[in-house]
Chain A
């Protein structure tokens, strides 16, 4: 009985907080108030205040997590509807994603290594710009800690969603292509949820970038690791 209450309680809590934060974001349209960030913060604060461990939250959380799979599958629809755009821009897309993906892995490893972190930590940061499940696989393959890679993936995604708007505008990288590819390569699915705000073209470019980046990353990740160790 208690399990059922916990399960439904945490599902309802997540939905309620998410919708409240969405309303707040629509009223006060500030980029750092995106629901994914505010909802995460509010839920963590609630859990910490009431001394509830993450594992208990996940009784309910796992059911929301289960829908992430079909939600990612759904990204095939904007991808399909924008097929002409993607075909037309195939060279800029592939080159941008390939170079971006390499930049993400090389700079992450290089910065962490220069700061003197252990090999295990450095290699955990390597796949941080790639979507979580693949990032974790790459981490295992190169000798990092998969759970920690997942955390870096989230930090990359959240910081991207938080600041990308200002960053892209400041450097005049605000074309449809620039926004979509930049968000998809650097901030994977979390960034794609932000790209949807810009429009269907950005959403499809970001999903393509995320998918290609996952493919390039799993092929090139091990080579980058060899380059540094």
Chain B
């Protein structure tokens, strides 16, 4: 019974993905269907059109094994080996260096702005 409920909820979430993809195609929104579906579910939850309990256990099941859904995409890397031979192998360290610069900058900026805002709030509370 429990698993049936989860399956129905997953089907429901799939429906949002389909609607999102349809909106993407129809209105040429520059976001993929899955992200439009995410925004739709988030909006529907925030406006109480959708109750959390209608989708939560299905969503939780999907998220608990999220990495497996990327496997078909990551395995595709085997077809692109030739791009990364010879000089092309440089593209891998370039991607990695740029990825960590991105991570470091994003992380540092959000963390330090949050700290500064917290401090300001503390000071105004003290005065």
What is A's interface to B at a CB cutoff of 8 Å? 14-15, 18, 34-36, 39-40, 43-44, 47-48, 54, 57-58, 61-62, 64-65, 67-81, 83, 89, 91-93, 95-97, 99-101, 103-104, 107-108, 111-112, 115, 117, 121, 125, 128-129, 131-134, 137, 147-148, 150-152, 154-160, 163-164, 167-168, 171, 173, 175, 177-179, 181-187, 189-190, 192-193, 196, 203, 207, 209, 211, 214-215, 218-219
Contacts and interface: CB of A to CB of B under 8 A. Distances in A.
The 6 A-B pairs with the shortest beta carbon distances in the complex, nearest first, are: A100-B106, A96-B110, A182-B107, A61-B72, A133-B32, A186-B103
A209 B71 contact: no
Contact of A159 (B16, B35, B73, B99): B99
Given A128-B95, A193-B70, A209-B106, A54 B55 contact: no
Nearest to B24: A133
B63 interface: yes
B52 interface: yes
Interface string B39-69: 1111001100000100110111011011111
Given A75-B38, A95-B109, A156 B67 contact: no
A73 B106 contact: no
A74 B92 contact: no
Contacts of A196: 63, 66
A80 to B, nearest CB: 4
Nearest to A57: B75
B100 interface: yes
Nearest to A132: B73
A95 B113 CA distance: 8
B4 interface: no
A175 B108 CA distance: 10
Nearest to A36: B67
Contacts of B56: 77
B71 A182 contact: no
B94 A129 contact: no
B95 A159 contact: yes
Question: Which of B10, B30, B55, B73 has the most chain A CB atoms inside 10 A of its CB?
Answer: B73
B94 A111 contact: yes
Contacts of B90: 115, 117
Contact of B67 (A34, A183, A214, A219): A34
Contacts of B3: none
Contacts of A203: 63
A69 B21 contact: yes
Contacts of A121: 91
A176 B60 CA distance: 21
Contacts of B10: 67, 70
B5 interface: no
Given A186-B103, A218-B31, A73 B94 contact: no
A108 B95 contact: yes
B52 A80 contact: yes
A69 B107 contact: no
Contact of A64 (B13, B63, B72, B91): B72
A31 to B, nearest CB: 14
Given A103-B101, A151-B76, A39 B31 contact: no
A82 B34 CA distance: 20
Given A39-B68, A211-B39, A154 B13 contact: no
